[in-house]
Amino acid sequence: MKIQAILFDLDGTLLDSAPDFLWIINQMLTRRAKLCINLAVITEQASNGALAMLASAFKLTPEHPDLASLKQEFLQLYSSHLNKKSHLYKGVDELLDYIEARGLLWAVVTNKPALYTHPILDHFKLSQRAGAIICPEHVNKTKPDPEPLLLACTQMSVAAENCWYIGDHLRDIEAGNAANMITVGCQYGYLSPADDSQSWGADFLIKQPTQLISLLDANTLSNTTNHLPKIGFEHV
């Protein structure tokens, strides 16, 4: 199985957007004379979406009626506060350069709406480099369904079984496994203390983006994923 393309989740995998989320929610809390939160509250809930972050920050139950209006306010603020504090994780630039130098394609497959995804990728000058950018608006079913991953493969004209999917949440690994891809879980992403990445079913777990280079280097040299060596990362 020759490696043809590497697919990535966005938030918590390529992009650390938690600092922007933190700034916005603390602005909302301050407006209401409530105590500000720290970054850990965001990183533990970011993968679960805006409602989860807001519920945790405002100490509300998931069913609380105020959450809908809070989410609307959050999204309005976010649309004008993209890329103020967010940044690519250390090593992502090096990783993407490596992938392209090896003649491989890469894509972004995210549950983040296109309204935010495209300006962010434009800001980091990644839009023209990505072989595909798949957002919820492009599919009928989002992750953990494999449909978005398979659509990216179709757009890049590659076989799903020759692709890897990289993400920081169980839904990413479930989607990648369902698409018959090699899956890599990011332990540096937005995990909560309750998350057990060992139980996700990923083929590999990495603690930083550049560890993926060792994985890919071993496999692009051999052009096979039948015997994945253990080099500076965890083989599950």
Residues with Cβ within 8 Å of residue 71, at least 6 apart in sequence = 50, 51, 54
CA-CA distance, 188 to 180, in Å (whole number)?
24
Indicate the pTM of the whole model.
Answer: 0.91
Which one is catalytic: 9, 20, 168, 172?
9
Domain with CATH 3.40.50.1000 in the chain: 5-16+88-235
Burial of 61 (0-12, 13-18, 19+ CB in 10 A): exposed
Confidence class for position 225, pLDDT limits 50, 70, 90:
very low
Name the active-site residue from 11, 168, 172, 195: 11
Give the residue-averaged pLDDT of 99-104. 96
Assign domain 18-79 to a CATH class: mainly alpha
Q: Catalytic annotation on 11?
A: yes
Q: Alpha helix locations (H) across the chain? A: 18-31, 39-45, 50-58, 67-79, 92-101, 114-123, 147-156, 170-178, 211-222
The CATH code for residues 5-16+88-235 is: 3.40.50.1000
Q: Find the mean pLDDT for residues 113-126.
A: 97
Confidence of residue 115 (pLDDT cuts 50, 70, 90): very high
All CATH 1.10.150 domain ranges of the chain, comma separated, are 18-79
Residue 97 is among the residues annotated as catalytic for this protein: no
Give the pLDDT of residue 92: 98
**Please, are residues 19 and 26 in contact by the beta-carbon 8 Å criterion?**
no
